[in-house]
Amino acid sequence: MEEWVGFKWHEYITRQALGEFPEHAVCLKDEARTLGVLFRALGGDPALSLVTAEPRHFQIRRRLLQKLAGTHRKFELAWRDDQSLRLPERLALFPDKQLNRELYLWLAALAATDSQEHPDWFTANQQRVQHLLAHWPGLETMYQRLVRHTLQWRPDPDSLPEAEAQRERALRQALIHPGSVTRLPRATTDPWPVILWLYPVLGKGKVSGQVIDDDANSRPGGLAKKNKRRQAERVDGFDRDQGLMIFRLESLFSWTEFIPVDRAGDDTEEEDAEAVADDMDMISISSDRRETSSAIKFDLDLPSEENDDLRLGPGIHLPEWDWRSQGYREKFCCLQPMLSRDAVPSPLPEALKRPAQRLRRQFSALKPLKQWQRRQTEGDELDLDACLDREVQHRRGSGVIDQKLFRRCQLSQRDLACLILADVSLSTDTYINNHQRVIDITRDGLQLLSEALQASRDPFALFAFSSRRRDHVRFHHIKGFDEAYTDISRGRIQALEPGYYTRMGAAIRQATRLLQARHEHQKILLLLTDGKPNDLDLYEGRYGVEDTRMAVQEAHKAGLTPFCVTIDDDASEYLPYVFGSNNFVVIRDPAQLPLQLPKLYMNLTR
> Domain check: are 338 and 450 in the same one?
yes
- At residue 521 the predicted structure's pLDDT band, cuts being 50, 70 and 90, is confident
Question: Are 390 and 401 spatial neighbours (Cβ–Cβ below 8 Å)?
Answer: yes
Residue 252 domain-assigned (yes or no): yes
Beta strands at 406-411 and 84-87: parallel, antiparallel or unpaired: unpaired
C-alpha distances (whole Å) from 59 to each of 5, 209, 233, 278 are 30, 11, 20, 19
- Tell me which of 176, 197, 224 is where a domain ends: 176
Q: Are residues 73 and 24 in the same domain?
A: yes
Residue 134 falls within a domain, yes or no? yes
The pLDDT assigned to 258 comes to 43
> Has residue 292 got a pLDDT over 50?
no
pLDDT digits (tens, 9 = 90+) for 468-496: 999 999 999 999 999 999 999 999 999 99
Task: Work out the widest C-alpha separation in the chain, in whole angstroms.
Answer: 122
| pLDDT (0 to 100) of residue 285 | 52
For residue 499, the domain's CATH number is 3.40.50.410
Counted domains in the chain: 4
Q: What is the mean pLDDT of the chain?
A: 80
Rounded Cα gap, residues 53 and 15, in angstroms: 22
Backbone angles phi, psi at 339, to 5 degrees: -130, 135
Q: Is residue 353 helix, strand or coil?
A: helix
Same domain, 403 and 421: no
How would DSSP label each residue in 250-287? GG---TTT---B-TT----S-TTHHHHHHH-S-EEE--
Q: Are residues 540 and 406 in the same domain?
A: no
Range of the domain at 286: 232-295
Number of alpha carbons in the 13 Å side-chain half-sphere of residue 399: 0
Beta strands in 182-239 (DSSP E): 232-234
Return the closest-CA partner of residue 474 out of 482, 464, 488. Answer: 464
Alpha carbons 14 and 222: distance in angstroms, whole number: 31
Q: Is residue 218 a part of any domain in this protein?
A: no
Mean pLDDT for 12-29 is 77
Residues 501 and 579 in one domain: yes
Q: 319 with 554: CB under 8 angstroms?
A: no
In this structure, the answer to whether residues 426 and 517 fall within a common structural domain is: yes
Q: Do 429 and 400 share a structural domain?
A: no
Average pLDDT of the residues in 135-164: 91
Same domain, 170 and 89: yes
Mean pLDDT of all residues in 36-48: 87
Are 360 and 375 members of one domain? no
Residue 15 has pLDDT above 80, yes or no: no
464 and 478 in contact (C-beta within 8 Å)?
yes
Strand partners, 417: 523
Is 80 exceeded by the pLDDT of residue 132? yes
User: Mean pLDDT over residues 408-427, rounded?
Assistant: 84
Give me the mean pLDDT over the 95-104 stretch.
Answer: 93
Average pLDDT over residues 70-75: 75
| For residues 85-113, average pLDDT | 92
- Average pLDDT of 155-178? 90
140 or 387: which leads in pLDDT: 140
Segment 27-32 mean pLDDT:
90
Confidence at residue 230, expressed as pLDDT on a 0 to 100 scale: 53
User: Could you tell me if 428 and 577 lie in one domain?
Assistant: yes
Cα gap 543→560, rounded to integer Å: 24
pLDDT over 80 at 68, yes or no: no
Query: What is the pTM for the complete model shown?
Result: 0.69
Residue 501's pLDDT is 94
| Neighbour-count burial for 441-452, b at 16+ CB within 10 Å, e otherwise | bbbbbbbbbbbb
**Which among 136, 159, 176 is the end of a domain?**
176
Residues 51 and 136 in one domain: yes
What is the model's pLDDT at position 27? Answer: 92
pLDDT, tens digit, for every residue of 327-382? 999 999 999 999 998 899 999 999 999 999 999 888 887 765 566 677 787 887 88
How confident is residue 142, by pLDDT bands cut at 50, 70 and 90? Answer: very high
CA–CA separation, 87 and 234 (whole Å) = 28
94 and 69, same structural domain?
yes
pLDDT for residue 373:
75
Average pLDDT rounded to a whole number, residues 5-27: 72
Examine residue 108 and state whether it is found in any structural domain, yes or no.
yes
pLDDT of residue 171 exceeding 80? yes
Mean pLDDT of 403-431: 84
CA 296 remoteness from chain centre: 26
Q: Is residue 338 part of a domain?
A: yes
Q: Which residue has the higher pLDDT, 221 or 391?
A: 391
Tell me the pLDDT tens digit for each residue of 546-576: 999 999 999 999 999 999 999 988 888 889 9
3-state class (DSSP) for residue 459: coil
% pLDDT > 70, the chain: 77
pLDDT digits (tens, 9 = 90+) for 208-241: 433 333 333 333 334 444 445 555 555 555 444 4
pLDDT of 21: 83
Residue 395 has pLDDT above 90, yes or no: no
- pLDDT at position 505 is 96
Confidence of residue 116 (pLDDT cuts 50, 70, 90): low
pLDDT tens-digit map of 248-270: 434 444 444 444 444 443 444 44
What pLDDT is attached to residue 117? 62
* Average pLDDT rounded to a whole number, residues 184-189: 88
31 located within any domain: yes
**H or E segment and range at residue 461:** strand 460-467
Q: How far apart are CA 546 and CA 552, in angstroms?
A: 10
Residue 502 lies in a domain: yes
Classify residue 187: in a domain, yes or no. Answer: no
